[in-house]
A and B are shown apart, each in its own frame.
Chain A
Amino acid sequence: TGFSNIDDDFYEELEEILIMADLGINTTAAIITDLKAKVKENKIKEPKECKELLIQSIMDQMDVSETAYEFENRKSIVLLIGVNGVGKTTSVGKLAGQLKDKGKKVIVAAADTFRAAAIEQLTEWSNRAGVDIIAQQEGSDPAAVIYDAVTAAKARNADVLICDTAGRLHNKKNLMEELKKIDRVITREFPDAYRETLVVLDGTTGQNALAQAKQFNEVAEITGIILTKLDGTAKGGIAIAIQSELGVPVKYIGIGEHIDDLQKFNAKDFVNALFN
């Protein structure tokens, strides 16, 4: 942008960019305050340099550790959770396809027994990915499906069991209790399994995603985020607020509806997209 000085107008424009990217006012204010201090400390004069500093510091914050994908190399159980319609079932299918392509033995579990045709939907995805599915009837107990799936994963010596769950709003107590029960069944039935619990967030979501991450983290310790629908015009900046508050990293992004449209998170691309 055409600024020649680092002045209030310049900072205001940065602020606008961050808010429009859904970082939220608190995170935005904290980032700008931190940036101003760094600019002073490093005696930075050029707006371009200042912006690069901003980009770099968000990038550092969002960087994913080397061990983030350790579950791929272990006997693991991956649980996908989140509110309604964010892309859980689709992401289960995509992830299953990717791991299968890497030569892993994958099983998926249809633990959404509530939503109309959720089981049929996951069945279609398991066909696309070419992996086994464990399912029961619509209306059955999701914890019982998980029990079956864990048993099958052990018996068939699967590398990764990926569990789909029903969409649930984080403010619904009984549904969150159900999730706790699912989590407990896994821990009890397969204590040695490497656990990966991913909260799926719709990249179009605003400030509420922070409340979602917090509440889901309380019932099942989340180890990462799948940020979906980044193929649209939304930037998914709330993930930055979540990373600052909860320290939970984005591990995957969804960029479409096809089986290949799931990518490992790249902090550089993500942060650059905020400013484009």
Chain B
Amino acid sequence: MAFDSLSEKLQNVFKNLRGKGRLSEADVTTALKEVKMALLEADVNFKVVKNFIKTVQERAVGQDVMSSLTPGQMVIKIVNEEMVNLMGSETTEIAFKAGNDITVILMCGLQGAGKTTTTAKLAGKFKSKGKKPLLVACDIYRPAAIEQLKINGDKQGVPVFSMGDKHKPVNIAKAAIEHAVKNNHNVVILDTAGRLHIDEDMMNELIEIKENIEVFQTILVVDAMTGQDAVNVSEMFNNKIGIDGVIITKLDGDTRGGAALSIRAVTGKPILYAGMGEKLTDLEQFYPDRMASRILGM
């Protein structure tokens, strides 16, 4: 890597501090400047960073620098603990309804985030677990969106329910549930059109779906490369339609992925999976601790 890792930088900051008994406020402030830079560089939201630094600062000042630890390591330890506090430490699985009740999953998010691809990836995952999924084409706007879902469903060997682009998504969803009941599907995944969080009509469309059918899990799909705006987007999707979890896509790129931390901090909702490529098998378990290290550049 071209740049020094954060831990190297922190060791440098504290080079002359070894043997000092306690961390002073000034020591900590200098060190946390590096942490702040690392987080901002990783696209963690400015306000989230500010709160985070404040918390770490309060905890670190006056800490005994135990003989076994250098001051740098002490700060890293506290930073790590607070990262885990924010990101969570456990992996989370998508919840299913008990028995053979139909679990309806609604996929939503901004344009181009990866919803349609992820819908098909999830279908493959559920199928291999013995579920009987049905995919539903509720994107009536994007050119060839239905065709895209059909091709991907075919590749996964999972049926796709579609009524073309002349019906309202809520009606397509209702009909899909009836179809699922008749054909013994126990998971229904609704692929919806990309939309902006500030587009009221389009947000209302999702609200209407949730008012008319029983959605068990609403999943927000977010591009890992998203910058400062991740906070606006996830907050508004969560406040307006309510989300249960998040899937982060395109983590096979070289982005640090600070959006993950921002989203977690403002919604408190777990990140369920990570998209790791364009192939329909490229969906992985999400490990919050690994993500924390990636964001910090450690």
| A-to-B contact residues, CB < 8 Å | 16, 19-22, 24-25, 83-87, 114-118, 120-121, 123-125, 167, 169-172, 202, 204-209, 211, 229, 231-235, 238, 257
Contacts and interface: CB of A to CB of B under 8 A. Distances in A.
Contacts of B254: 169-171, 208, 211
Q: How large is the interface on B (under 10, 10 to 19, 20 to 34, 35 or more residues)?
A: 35 or more
Given A84-B250, A208-B254, A208-B255, A116 B196 contact: no
Contacts of B147: 116-117, 120-121
B208 interface: no
Interface in B254-277: 254-256, 258-259
Contacts of B41: 24-25, 207
B40 A25 contact: yes
B144 A124 contact: yes
Given A207-B43, A232-B110, A83 B225 contact: yes
Interface in B13-55: 37, 40-43, 45-46
A117 B148 contact: yes
Contacts of A233: 196-198, 229, 232-233
Given A85-B223, A229-B110, A257-B111, A204 B253 contact: no
Interface of B: 37, 40-43, 45-46, 110-114, 141-145, 147-148, 150-152, 155, 196-198, 223, 225-229, 232-233, 250, 252-256, 258-259, 278
Contact of B228 (A84, A87, A208, A234): A234
Contact of A206 (B113, B141, B227): B227
Contacts of B258: 206
Contact of A115 (B45, B233, B255, B278): B278
A215 B230 CA distance: 24
A235 B142 CA distance: 24
A245 to B, nearest CB: 14
Given A25-B37, A206-B227, A83 B143 contact: no
The SS class assigned to the B binding surface is loop
B54 to A, nearest CB: 15
Contacts of B256: 207-208
Contacts of A83: 225, 250, 253
Given A84-B278, A232-B196, A208 B259 contact: no
Nearest to A16: B46
B225 A202 contact: yes
A250 to B, nearest CB: 16
A275 B145 CA distance: 36
Given A229-B111, A234-B229, 9 more contacts: A120-B143, A120-B144, A121-B144, A202-B223, A205-B225, A232-B110, A232-B197, A233-B196, A233-B232
Contacts of B142: 121, 257
Contact of B225 (A16, A167, A208): A208
A124 B110 contact: no
A208 B284 CA distance: 22
A19 B151 contact: no
Nearest to A209: B225
A273 to B, nearest CB: 13
A156 B243 CA distance: 52
A18 B110 CA distance: 23
Contacts of A118: 144
A261 to B, nearest CB: 12
Given A125-B143, A206-B43, A257-B111, A231 B196 contact: yes
A238 B40 CA distance: 13
A121 B146 CA distance: 10
Nearest to A119: B144
B229 A169 contact: no
A86 B226 CA distance: 11
A240 B237 CA distance: 28
Given A16-B46, A120-B144, A202 B112 contact: yes
Contacts of B145: 117
A85 to B, nearest CB: 3
Nearest to B37: A25
B240 to A, nearest CB: 14
With a 10 A CB-CB cut-off, give which of A116, A234, A235 has the most chain B CB atoms: A116
Give 7 nearest A-B pairs by CB, closest first.
Answer: A206-B227, A85-B112, A206-B43, A124-B143, A117-B148, A120-B144, A234-B229
Given A83-B250, A232-B198, A20 B111 contact: no
23 contacts: A19-B228, A20-B228, A22-B227, A83-B225, A85-B114, A85-B250, A124-B143, A124-B144, A171-B252, A171-B253, A171-B254, A172-B252, A204-B110, A204-B233, A205-B225, A206-B225, A206-B228, A207-B227, A207-B256, A208-B253, A209-B225, A232-B110, A232-B198
